[in-house]
Amino acid sequence: MKNFQQEDQELLHKESGILTAPLQRRSFLQYAGAGAAGIALLAAGCKKDDGSEGLRVDGVNLGSGDVGILNYAYALEQLEAAFYDAVVKAPYSGITPAELSLLTDIRDHELAHREFFKKALGTSAIIGLEVNFTAINFTQRASVLATAKAFEDLGVSAYNGAGKLIKSADYLVLAGKIVSVEARHAALIRDLIENGTFANSEVVDANGLDKARTPSEVLSIASAFINTKINASNLPS
Amino acid sequence: MNIINILDEIEKVDGEIYERLNPRRAAMKSFYNFGSKMAVAAVPLALGSMFKKAYGQTTSTVIDVLNFALTLEYLEYYFYQQGSATVGLIPAGTPAVAAINTIRDHELAHVNLLKTAITSSGGTPVSFTAANFDYTAKNTFPTVFSNYPTFLAVAQAFEDTGVRAYKGQAPALMGSPSVLQTALQIHSVEARHASHIRQMRKAPAGGGVTALKPWITGANDSGVPQVDAVYKGEDNVVQAGVNIPSLGVSTAAATESFDEFLVKADVLAIASLFIKS
């Protein structure tokens, strides 16, 4: 599988704010209920080994409590960021400048989300996932936008379903700050496919409610695009 | 502006508003006296600070939150209801008609859902009719129902405010997981609306606000300075102590990638501009 270890290590060294990073992690971990911040930096060197170990046994373990939910979100953001990165690097044929600009924005948002979770989770973060985009025809507008729609709607439903599983008010609000941006993406992508479908009955029910999915429902759908096995068995429910 | 009437409206939402403003109901007398001595221009400011005092440090009950949400949904529903019923406002024969109708129907569904939820929780839903609202915001938007771009500009402000309002109330609902989930499911629908309305405003007929994106860039990207309060703080780039631009994205992308919340008092200050006194 593709290994992000080298890239991660490079990133770690490049981070000019490395001295302040443990502080941010500390405040994060306090909220998350894991107090091992003091060893956060020391542990950074062996996290990949831990991840690989978990991988051999029963997949990448998302963990429990708020850390588990944040890793769950991190996994989804990894998927989305990797997808849009591929889209922007080699745009589909016939893409308009307006579409490329919007998709580049979305790529940047997903990258910000992914890197935010990675940094916030610190040593509790799962490894970089190996994605599987073989079903997507990146040269074809219809294929790319259909996938984008599926990912965005899935992301919205994932955050909507995960909110009640979060114990920290701060992280609940953070999830809220992200989910509405995902919903803005979802609406835009839908409108690019067919104007006016931003909130149609596929995604909004008769009570005016968007979808909410449990982590297991979401991961089951997402697994078609992720080779790395994910163990969500310790997530709160 | 009649503060007392607004407070009366708020009292429908929050029956304890006077107690929240001051533990002793009698002390409201001092408020009346205070108001009479103040310059008129300073009144909105004082009102804002009183709302802050009222809500900023009070634990909201679930019914309080739901009635607050219901107030906003009424505000939105009657807005779209009136807009869609005004002949010549929304360009006939364009996709805009269906889009506005879709949004209107969602807001009505939210009104009905919240009313049911409040009643079934033993609460009393707030009640508003179209006549309770002044969508010109005391002549700030005099052409709101005669000029399509103005209508959309106000719609954008309502949708973006709605997104921020629900987000801000999520923590108050943590004790009621199913209500929290429902609120989140409304929250993301409001964001879908906001995204689409912003696209409508980009179109030439919608005002040709070409710089606008489906997401919020910086503070108040709406091009309408009168709604600065709607976007207060949206230019934040630090999330949970993490500086987002330091992760490798532009400042603009950093502000776009996280929508900010608004506290109840700030939302009420915005909503009150559209509630008749």
Kindly provide the ipTM of the predicted complex, given to two decimals.
0.80
Structural tokens at position B75 = 């505000």
Is residue A10 pLDDT above 60, yes or no? no
CA A190 to CA B214: how far, in whole Å? Answer: 12
The answer, for B170 touching chain A at a CB cutoff of 8 Å, is yes
Of B29 and B199, more confident: B199
Q: What pLDDT is recorded for position A109? A: 98
Residue from the list B171, B178, B253 with its beta carbon closest to the beta carbon of A112: B253
Measure in Å the smallest separation between the Cα of A187 and chain B Cα atoms.
Answer: 5
Is residue A162 pLDDT above 90, yes or no? yes
What does the angle CA B142 – CA B144 – CA B146 come to, to the nearest 5 degrees?
A: 95
**Which of A15-29, A135-149, B75-89, B137-151 has the lowest average pLDDT?**
A15-29
Measure in Å the smallest separation between the Cα of B66 and chain A Cα atoms.
Answer: 15
Is residue B96 pLDDT above 50, yes or no? yes
Give the DSSP per-residue string, B58-82: SPPPHHHHHHHHHHHHHHHHHHHHH
Interface mutation vs chain A, best among B180, B182, B184, B261, most A CBs within 10 Å: B184
Contact, B91 vs B85, CB < 8 A? no
pLDDT band at residue B78 under the 50/70/90 scheme: very high
Is residue A39 pLDDT above 90, yes or no? no
* Residues comprising chain A, all counted: 237
Closest CA to A70 of A18, A13, A123, A19: A123
For chain B positions 94-153, those within 8 Å of chain A (CB to CB) are: 95, 98-99, 102-103, 105-110, 112-113
For the entire predicted model, the pTM comes to 0.80
Mean pLDDT of B142-161: 98
3-class SS of residue B275: strand
Average pLDDT, chain B: 85
**Which of A182-196, B25-39, B78-92, B151-165 has the lowest average pLDDT?**
B25-39
Helix axes A97-121, A169-193, angle to 10 degrees: 160
Is residue B248 pLDDT above 70, yes or no? yes
Residue bearing tokens 């599988």: A1
